[in-house]
Amino acid sequence: MTTSQVSTPLPQDNQDLCGLLGKHLIYTYSNGWKYELYIKNASTVEYRVHPSKGEPNPLTGRWVKDLKAVTARLGDGLYSVAWVQVAGTCASLVINTQQRWLHFAGFLAKWANDNPAPLAGFQNDHLDEILRYRDIGPIAPQMQEDLFATITFLEDRGVDNEDVIAYPPEQVPDGFLDRTN
């Protein structure tokens, strides 16, 4: 067999997500924003937005359960997770579990960027209200966010664990966000 006959597997040929599914991450963006993400299964994520020591985050206090997502393996320890928020915002994360960093690219709906207050709190309890805001809009022009973060804590909590993101950010125990590994 010649070199030209040897085919290299494409990333989509190996969608083994076991290195990401069930993972719970705490990470801090370069601007100081602190987030928590749980990869509940191959098509669902949950997250919380925590108070930050750096630049104020208008979404502090937000938490979301059972958000539909698209998840893909890009390479060894490298994954993509993307979703569309009920608000009309599109989010995409590239997560490197080996080097412990992630990159967020987001396209925030104009109404949500101009008036983030309706998005704070538990999204699942306010879906109808958020949908009304989204439908009134405007969605465009969207504001682009481009941020890198350091993963400070990473653990395996198993798939479909309802106890990982189970209460609001303001109720996490003291020291919870300061854990590192």
Asked if the structure places residue 5 within a domain, the reply is: no
Asked if the structure places residue 168 within a domain, the reply is: no
What is the reported pTM?
0.91
Asked if the structure places residue 178 within a domain, the reply is: no
* CATH classification of the domain holding 57: 2.40.128.20
The whole-number pLDDT of residue 103 equals 98
Asked if the structure places residue 96 within a domain, the reply is: yes
DSSP character at residue 120? S
Q: Tell me the CA end-to-end span of the chain in Å, nearest whole number.
A: 46
Domain span at residue 30 reads 16-156
How many domains is the chain built from?
Answer: 1
31-50 pLDDT, tens digit per residue, is 999 999 999 999 999 999 99
Asked if the structure places residue 11 within a domain, the reply is: no
Q: What percent of the chain has pLDDT over 90?
A: 85
Query: How many CA within 13 A on the CB side of residue 69?
Result: 25
